[in-house]
């Protein structure tokens, strides 16, 4: 093993090239599969659902035609929705399993490894505002930043709102004997507008935070490879780095660099999603301003 990898992780004066040479595991295979499933499902739902919101535009009719017509687009939409629901329930099962292993769900819901917003996130938001205004230092983040938690909670919220209204519309014939007609009208409005908001958010704010920020441009590969360098860990999540080193857990996360094939595949998949998302945003704006 190269000496740069075998150096003690606690060594304070490590050379920059040695620090860059050390890699750590951030996400496991299960998390990366979940993200891939959610990504494909979301893009599938977006591309098959948007033609129904903008049927008066040429691009919507062309997109529906590419999928075989509006009926075929509806099928693509439902298949994508099933995939998204599957990923969601798999994530819930993972959450429950972690709570069972730790002996308490509280350890999963709270603390530095939790995606649930906490008081520190409020402090980080305020600290970041002051940093942007040149009034203070940059906040020091732990495993998850406040914007990552916001992304996560937005998806979690959307699963109930968009998913619930979508189920009402999918099974309206079976439910109509027991549900008032106005409920389906409300579900139609909620499903379309909430979905449009979700698509706009994911393809702009999420893409910018995840990939288009100056320090990550053109793409953050960690969700595709599951790995990041020690330099990234130290600079972007110093509290996590210090906590893992203090707990003696850092060495267990040390791993090899991602293979060139894995990086190339991640760039292909992520780049395709990024391009599709940006194009979709322009099509939405065109549809909104020309309708």
Digit-coded pLDDT (tens) for 153-175: 888 888 889 999 999 999 988 98
Quote the pTM value: 0.83
- Of 39, 41, 52, 37, whose CA–CA distance to 284 is shortest? 52
Which stretches of the chain score pLDDT less than 50?
1-15
Q: What CA–CA distance (Å, rounded) separates 231 from 237?
A: 10
Q: What CA–CA distance (Å, rounded) separates 291 from 288?
A: 6
- Return the structure tokens found at 236: 């972007």
Residue-level pLDDT at 216? 80
- Of 112, 98, 62, whose CA–CA distance to 243 is shortest? 112
Q: Which 8-state DSSP code applies to residue 203?
A: I
First to last CA, the chain: 62
| Peptide bond preceding 3 in cis form (omega within 30 of 0) | no
Residue-level pLDDT at 218? 78
Q: What are the backbone dihedrals phi and psi of residue 257, each rounded to the nearest 5 degrees, phi first?
A: -65, 155
The residue ranges of DSSP E strands in 94-247, in sequence order, are 227-229
24 forms bridges with which residues in the sheet? Answer: 228, 254
- Return the structure tokens found at 114: 């939790």
- Return the structure tokens found at 198: 């979700």
Residue-level pLDDT at 237? 92
Q: What share of the chain is helix, strand, coil (3-state, %, to 5)?
A: 75, 5, 25
CA distances (Å), origin 175, targets 19, 171, 223: 60, 6, 40
Q: What CA–CA distance (Å, rounded) separates 99 from 218?
A: 36
Residue-level pLDDT at 6? 37
Q: What CA–CA distance (Å, rounded) separates 200 from 206?
A: 9
Domains of the chain: 15-290 (1.20.950.20)
Residue-level pLDDT at 10? 44
Residue-level pLDDT at 291? 62
Q: What CA–CA distance (Å, rounded) separates 218 from 4?
A: 28
């Amino acid at each position: 093993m190269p000496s740069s990898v075998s150096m003690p992780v606690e060594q304070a004066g490590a050379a920059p090239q040695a620090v860059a040479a050390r890699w750590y595991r951030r996400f496991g295979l299960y998390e990366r599969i979940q993200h891939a499933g959610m990504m494909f499902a979301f893009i599938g739902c977006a591309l098959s659902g948007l033609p129904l919101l903008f049927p008066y535009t040429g691009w919507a009719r062309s997109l529906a035609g590419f999928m075989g017509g509006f009926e075929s687009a509806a099928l693509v939409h439902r298949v994508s929705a099933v995939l998204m629901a599957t990923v969601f329930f798999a994530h819930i099962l993972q959450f429950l399993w972690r709570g069972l292993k730790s002996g308490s769900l509280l350890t999963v819901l709270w603390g530095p490894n939790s995606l649930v917003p906490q008081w520190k996130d409020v402090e980080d938001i305020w600290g970041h505002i002051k940093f942007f205004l040149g009034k203070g230092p940059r906040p020091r983040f732990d495993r998850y930043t406040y914007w990552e938690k916001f992304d996560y909670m937005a998806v979690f919220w959307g699963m109930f709102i968009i998913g619930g209204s979508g189920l009402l519309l999918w099974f309206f014939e079976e439910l109509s004997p027991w549900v008032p007609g106005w409920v389906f009208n409300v579900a139609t409005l909620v499903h379309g507008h909430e979905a449009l908001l979700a698509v706009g958010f994911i393809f702009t704010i999420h893409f910018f935070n995840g990939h288009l920020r100056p320090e990550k441009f053109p793409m953050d590969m960690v969700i595709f490879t599951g790995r990041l360098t020690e330099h990234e860990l130290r600079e972007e999540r110093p509290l996590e780095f210090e906590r893992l080193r203090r707990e003696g857990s850092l060495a267990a996360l040390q791993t090899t660099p991602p293979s060139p094939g894995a990086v190339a595949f991640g760039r292909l998949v992520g780049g395709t999603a990024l391009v599709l998302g940006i194009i979709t945003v322009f099509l939405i704006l065109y549809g909104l301003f020309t309708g």
